[in-house]
Amino acid sequence: MCGIVGYVGPREPTEILLKGLKKLEYRGYDSAGLALFYEGKIKIKRCQGKLSQLEQEVQNSRYCATPVQNHFVGIGHTRWATHGKPSERNAHPHQAGPIALVHNGIIENYASLREKLLSKGHAVSSETDSEVVALLIYDHLKSGCDFEKAVFLAIQELIGSYSLGILCETEPNKLIAVRNGTPLIVGVGDHENFIASDIPALLEHTNKFIYLEDHEVVVFEPNSLVIKNIAGKEIKKEIHHIQWTADMVEKGGFQHFMLKEIHEQPQAIINTLQDRVVKDKNVLYLKDLKLSEDEIRQIRKIYLVACGTAYHASMVGKYLIESFARIPCELDLASEFRYRDPLIGEKDLLIVTSQSGETADTLAALREAKKKGAKVISICNCRGSTIDRESDSTVYTQAGPEIGVASTKAFSTQLVVFNLLALHLGLTLKTLTPEKAAPYVQDLVRLPYTLDEVLKKEPEIKRIAEKFYKKKTFLYLARGMNMPIALEGALKLKEISYINAEGYAAGEMKHGPIALVDEDTPVIILAPKDKYYDKVLSNLEEIKARAGIVIALGSEGDLHLPKVADWFIPLPQKSENVMPILLTIPVQLIAYYIALKKGTDVDQPRNLAKSVTVE
Ligand code: F6R
């Protein structure tokens, strides 16, 4: 949560910082601010609301920087409130004497630090935990330290998570950045350098990045950057060249990132399958999975842990792995995992799934499992993220940058990776013969083309969405491997349209949710022709008997379903392993078009942030 950018170089940085923040707005969007040097003094501009407010204020007040010895230094922030409600005074940067600071994370001991600082005569002007860090650095400056020393001393006192960008009026050529527990990367340019919470913020300027580890401090000066560990010792770090380009983080003609990302799914899946499947031979190569045959044979149990949409992907993963590889799986919400003192040990494997690779609870689960001796594999979309780096190996989803807060293409590529993983484990353990695997692999390889067909249903789905967008409650029902897609459909709808939506295993309906059904309740039933079809059909009849409105997603050629459902969206019938992915597209589109018609902010729904880096 919260996005940080910073710049040191020869260009006037207002636009660089604002554009960087725009790309980070998915991390938080309740207030924003900048700090620059103007004639040697720090000038701060902050305001409540979205970044567009700040852009407007910057324009109206002609806010800009002037160089110090031909160089500029600046920081910016977009906020997702933790301590203190969204307001101008709680917006970052925070100033304390000559210090201006932006922060992402939570300072857990801020209350005691604040007491200490107040007793020393410092004045507090916000309700945030972040301001305390600026005051702490100022306090050390007052006792005679230079800027760098003051930062080092201050961070020794902090408990919690913090990425920081800090300026000091008495050393106006310097930017100091700190990373601990929340993401921060360094962008390396030509005679200019940057910091940001995430890569998309800087793609317009560079594709060279340094990934910082916790407790690392970077001191930027014109034409130089020095990275130090917490003890102040200089360390050398590798510069990574990444393949993402600036146009990948633009809307490319679509009204929203979410719609663009829904349409990118066939390509994202092509990229995810590339070099991992040999089409005609039904052979799988998972080079990035560092698990030997022996290690696979020794797995006692697999724990699948994630949050939100990634948790739904893991739920499909459990079905796939248990069915193809016959290894028992346990599924956990990352936010619960460590609190139940899980019985995970050396013979077990943990698979964490995360688009961002920075989700605090997922990371904590990973660390808990490692502490208990388990091997950890991650399914992750962001190379260099903390989860990627701390896992024993990562199988990457090649979804490209996902900007819409509601996850779409990351989800479908996670399902593809779970397919690859389950097939690979099954083939290795011989619970699956190559002959038996063949149709599953073939349908996986053809999936991008099948999804193109499903995307053609968009106008029909849009019509349905526009008919029902005023309804107050939606139910989503399915069975078996498709059941997680009912949960995911409901999550998508509630997060972007704010409509109450519940996803259930269809068999659970009679145990409670059926009470919600009346003539005003649309029920979206996932009923492809599979082994659960007849049972799902009985559930459909039970809904119709209670006057519920049934929107059925089923198989092409099904002659019965269109007769009993009020609305029917036919989809290609494929093997069970890819059906959850096919069903995903319509539930994403239903949510999108309902939200669009309701007029909510699709890409930045209220109260949410893309990367949940606090617990
Ligand atoms: C919902 C959504 C969230 C994320 C969850 C985990 O559309 O995006 O539920 O799936 O916050 O995020 P990652 O995958 O980054 O760990």
If one residue of 414, 417, 612, 615 were mutated to test the ligand 1 pocket, choosing by the most ligand atoms within 8 A of its CB, it would be 612
Question: What is the reported pTM?
Answer: 0.85
Share of the chain above pLDDT 90, in %: 86
Per-residue pLDDT at 280: 63
User: H/E element holding 376?
Assistant: strand 375-380
Across 587-591, average pLDDT? 98
Instruction: Report the separation in Å between the CA atom of 355 and the middle of ligand 1, taken as the mean of its atom positions.
Output: 7
Across 554-575, average pLDDT? 96
User: What are the C-alpha distances in Å from 474 to residues 369, 393, 463, 551, 582?
Assistant: 37, 39, 16, 10, 20
Across 88-114, average pLDDT? 95
Per-residue pLDDT at 279: 63
* Contact partners, residue 489, CB within 8 Å, separation at least 6: 476, 501, 503, 524, 526, 587, 588, 590, 591
User: How would you classify the pairing of strands 473-478 and 522-527?
Assistant: parallel
84 token code pair: 């203190």
86 token code pair: 């969204």
* 545 CB-contact burial (10 Å; exposed 0-12 / middle 13-18 / buried 19+): exposed
Per-residue pLDDT at 252: 85
Q: Does residue 614's CB lie within 6 angstroms of at least one atom of ligand 1? A: no
281 pLDDT above the threshold of 70: no
Across 36-65, average pLDDT? 95
503 token code pair: 């996803």
83 pLDDT above the threshold of 90: no
Residue given tokens 């659960």 in the structure block: 532
Across 124-145, average pLDDT? 95
Contact by Cβ (8 Å): 4, 21: no
> Residues 240-277: pLDDT tens digits?
998 888 888 888 889 999 999 999 999 999 999 998 98
Per-residue pLDDT at 604: 86
> Residues 173-220: pLDDT tens digits?
999 999 998 889 999 999 999 999 999 899 999 999 999 999 999 999
610 assigned to active site: yes
Q: Does residue 74's CB lie within 6 angstroms of at least one atom of ligand 1? A: no
Q: Which atom of ligand 1 is nearest to the CA of 356?
A: 15
Instruction: Report the separation in Å between the CA atom of 484 and the middle of ligand 1, taken as the mean of its atom positions.
Output: 15
If one residue of 26, 333, 335, 359 were mutated to test the ligand 1 pocket, choosing by the most ligand atoms within 8 A of its CB, it would be 359
Instruction: Report the separation in Å between the CA atom of 393 and the middle of ligand 1, taken as the mean of its atom positions.
Output: 21
Q: Which atom of ligand 1 is nearest to the CA of 310?
A: 10
> Residues 441-493: pLDDT tens digits?
999 999 999 999 999 999 999 999 999 999 999 999 999 999 999 999 999 99
Per-residue pLDDT at 615: 74
User: How would you classify the pairing of strands 348-354 and 500-505?
Assistant: unpaired
Between these two residues, 401 and 322, which has the higher pLDDT value? Answer: 322
> Residues 13-42: pLDDT tens digits?
999 999 999 999 888 788 999 999 999 999
**Which residues make beta-bridge pairs with 31?**
48, 79
Nearest protein Cα to ligand 1, atom 7: 406
Q: What is the mean pLDDT of the chain?
A: 94
Q: How confident is the model at residue 387 (pLDDT cuts 50, 70, 90)?
A: very high
Contact by Cβ (8 Å): 26, 603: yes
Per-residue pLDDT at 384: 85
282 pLDDT above the threshold of 70: no
Across 291-297, average pLDDT? 94
**Which residues make beta-bridge pairs with 477?**
504, 525
Q: Which of 219-233, 269-283, 549-563 has the lowest mean pLDDT?
A: 269-283
Q: Does residue 579's CB lie within 6 angstroms of at least one atom of ligand 1? A: no
Per-residue pLDDT at 152: 98
Nearest protein Cα to ligand 1, atom 10: 309
Q: Does residue 335's CB lie within 6 angstroms of at least one atom of ligand 1? A: no
Report the distance separating Cα 565 and Cα 579, nearest Å: 20
Q: Does residue 362's CB lie within 6 angstroms of at least one atom of ligand 1? A: yes
Across 594-611, average pLDDT? 88
Instruction: Report the separation in Å between the CA atom of 496 and the middle of ligand 1, taken as the mean of its atom positions.
Output: 13
2 assigned to active site: yes
Catalytic residue among 45, 260, 318, 610: 610
Residue given tokens 């501009």 in the structure block: 45
**Alpha carbon of residue 187 to chain centroid:** 20
**Domains delineated in the chain:** 3-246 (3.60.20.10), 251-450 (3.40.50.10490), 458-598 (3.40.50.10490)
Per-residue pLDDT at 528: 97
User: What are the C-alpha distances in Å from 45 to residues 64, 76, 88, 177, 315?
Assistant: 10, 9, 9, 20, 45
Whether the bond into 570 is cis, omega within 30 of 0: no
Number of helices followed by number of strands (H, E) in the chain? 19, 26
* Contact partners, residue 139, CB within 8 Å, separation at least 6: 117, 120, 122, 154
Q: Does residue 196's CB lie within 6 angstroms of at least one atom of ligand 1? A: no
418 token code pair: 């779970």
Contact by Cβ (8 Å): 359, 612: yes
Q: Does residue 419's CB lie within 6 angstroms of at least one atom of ligand 1? A: no
Across 344-369, average pLDDT? 96
Q: Does residue 613's CB lie within 6 angstroms of at least one atom of ligand 1? A: no
615 token code pair: 């617990």
* 526 CB-contact burial (10 Å; exposed 0-12 / middle 13-18 / buried 19+): buried
Across 399-408, average pLDDT? 93
Q: Which of 119-123, 129-133, 398-402, 605-609 has the lowest mean pLDDT?
A: 605-609
Report the distance separating Cα 319 and Cα 298, nearest Å: 20
Q: Does residue 154's CB lie within 6 angstroms of at least one atom of ligand 1? A: no
Instruction: Report the separation in Å between the CA atom of 354 and the middle of ligand 1, taken as the mean of its atom positions.
Output: 7
Q: Which atom of ligand 1 is nearest to the CA of 308?
A: 9
Q: Does residue 305's CB lie within 6 angstroms of at least one atom of ligand 1? A: no
If one residue of 27, 335, 356 were mutated to test the ligand 1 pocket, choosing by the most ligand atoms within 8 A of its CB, it would be 356
